[in-house]
């Protein structure tokens, strides 16, 4: 699975080799050394490393081959100063936020505000909580990842601006964006491995409901762009009553099917997480000390 994941990652874009380097460095930085060396005493690990090495080498050679069919660049800012490009992109960091969450069409359709707010609220709370509460190598790894998240785009754009102009897009940072949630979750799980969370089920249900709603809304919003357009005067009612275009499967049917998939996924996740939490609760109750007998007893 690791080899297959790396294969798809490094074949995404040329900068994906940089994402792989960042992931590898973060994993080594945060690893428990006892576990790390135990993993690499297994032959399967060396086979995986060898296959990954071959994959990366072949992909690197491919990206270095001159592309005769590459279109002439006509992006804004060709010939600009790298230092100006660096600070321009750094200043626009959060303007790329829609591309981290959802962006449709020819980058002309950002998601509804509710989708951005939900993802910002939930993922932001997770990352900030981990930075504050995590400890040791995992906290250090998360902080390093956050620094990469903010600095890689301006550094990359500064290196490209003279020849290619301003070409950076928010979606290019998706690998780092996904990593934020993963590393923050690992760091908090390490910090509070056996903690019983008050009102756990309410928190989990609320979070899953918000994320599910955001996913369905983004899906329907993307369909709306094609079915009737996103003109101010085109409402959801018109989408139902006077669609201008329909996919092979009616858009409403597609949305219902997508909603069903999200509900099933949320339910499966709820069952898995609550089972884990219930096991922690049961273990904590088993280890509670017996109350001391009174003198009268």
The 10 Å CB-count burial string (b at 16+, else e) for 255-276 is beeebeebeeebeeeeeeeeee
Cα 102 from Cα 110, distance rounded (Å): 7
pLDDT higher than 60, residue 197? yes
Task: Give the pLDDT score at 69.
Answer: 54
* Mean pLDDT for all residues in the chain: 87
Q: CA-based diameter of the chain, in Å?
A: 94
| Extents of the domains making up the chain | 1-70, 81-193, 203-285
Q: What is the pLDDT of residue 293?
A: 47
Identify the residue with better confidence: 4 or 69: 4
**Which residues sit opposite 104 in a β-bridge?**
109
What confidence category does residue 297 fall into, taking pLDDT thresholds of 50, 70 and 90?
very low
- Long-range contact list for 285-292, CB < 8 A, 24+ apart? none
Per-residue model confidence (pLDDT) at position 295: 46
Report residue 82 as tokens.
């790298």
Examine the pLDDT at 257 and tell me if it is beyond 70.
yes
pLDDT in tens, 64-111: 876 655 555 567 878 888 999 999 999 998 888 888 998 888 888 888
pLDDT of residue 286 exceeding 80, the answer is no
Please tell me the predicted confidence (pLDDT) of residue 218. 94
Residue 17 pLDDT greater than 60, yes or no = yes
Question: pLDDT-derived band of residue 36, with 50, 70 and 90 as boundaries?
Answer: confident
pLDDT at res. 70: 54
Between residues 189 and 294, the one the model is more confident about: 189
Distance between CA 240 and CA 257 in Å, rounded? 16
Hey, how many other C-beta atoms are within 10 angstroms of the C-beta on 277?
A: 16
At residue 242, the pLDDT reads: 87
3-state helix, strand, coil in the chain (%, to 5): 70, 0, 25
CA 265/CA 260 separation, integer angstroms: 9
- Spatial neighbors of 41 by CB under 8 A, at least 6 apart, are none
Q: Which residue has the higher pLDDT, 256 or 12?
A: 256
Size of the chain in residues: 297
pLDDT digits (tens, 9 = 90+) for 153-164: 999 999 988 888
Average pLDDT over residues 197-217: 92
| Residue 59 near residue 17 (C-beta atoms within 8 A) | yes
pLDDT digit string, tens, across residues 44-61: 999 999 999 999 999 988
Q: b/e for 125-139, b at 16 or more Cβ within 10 A?
A: ebbeebeeebeebbb
Residues 106-125: what's their mean pLDDT? Answer: 90
* Cα 57 from Cα 188, distance rounded (Å): 35
Exposed/middle/buried for residue 172 (C-beta within 10 Å: 0-12, 13-18, 19+): buried
């Amino acid at each position: 699975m690791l080899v297959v994941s790396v294969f798809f990652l490094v074949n995404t874009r040329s900068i994906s080799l940089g994402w792989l380097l960042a992931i590898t460095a973060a994993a080594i930085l945060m690893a428990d050394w006892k576990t790390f060396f135990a993993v690499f005493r297994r032959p399967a690990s060396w086979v995986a490393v060898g296959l990954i090495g071959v994959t990366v080498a072949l992909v690197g050679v491919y990206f270095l081959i001159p592309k005769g069919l590459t279109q002439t660049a006509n992006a804004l800012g060709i010939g600009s100063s790298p230092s100006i490009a660096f600070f321009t992109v750094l200043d626009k960091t959060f303007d790329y936020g829609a591309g981290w969450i959802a962006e449709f069409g020819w980058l002309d359709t950002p998601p509804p505000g509710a989708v951005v707010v939900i993802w910002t609220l939930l993922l932001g709370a997770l990352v900030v909580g981990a930075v504050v509460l995590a400890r040791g190598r995992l906290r250090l790894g998360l902080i390093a990842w956050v620094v990469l998240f903010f600095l890689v785009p301006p550094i990359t754009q500064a290196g490209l601006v003279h020849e290619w102009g301003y070409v950076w897009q928010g979606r290019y940072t998706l690998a780092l964006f996904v990593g934020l949630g993963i590393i923050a979750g690992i760091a908090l799980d390490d910090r509070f491995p056996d903690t019983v969370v008050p009102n756990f089920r309410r928190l989990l249900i609320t979070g899953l409901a918000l994320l599910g709603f955001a996913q369905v809304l983004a899906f329907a919003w993307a369909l709306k762009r094609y079915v009737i357009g996103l003109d101010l005067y085109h409402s959801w009612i018109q989408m139902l009553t006077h669609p201008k275009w329909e996919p092979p499967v009616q858009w409403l049917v597609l949305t219902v099917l997508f909603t069903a998939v999200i509900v099933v996924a949320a339910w499966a996740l709820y069952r898995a997480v609550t089972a884990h939490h219930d096991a922690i609760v049961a273990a904590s109750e088993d280890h509670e000390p017996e109350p001391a007998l009174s003198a009268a007893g």
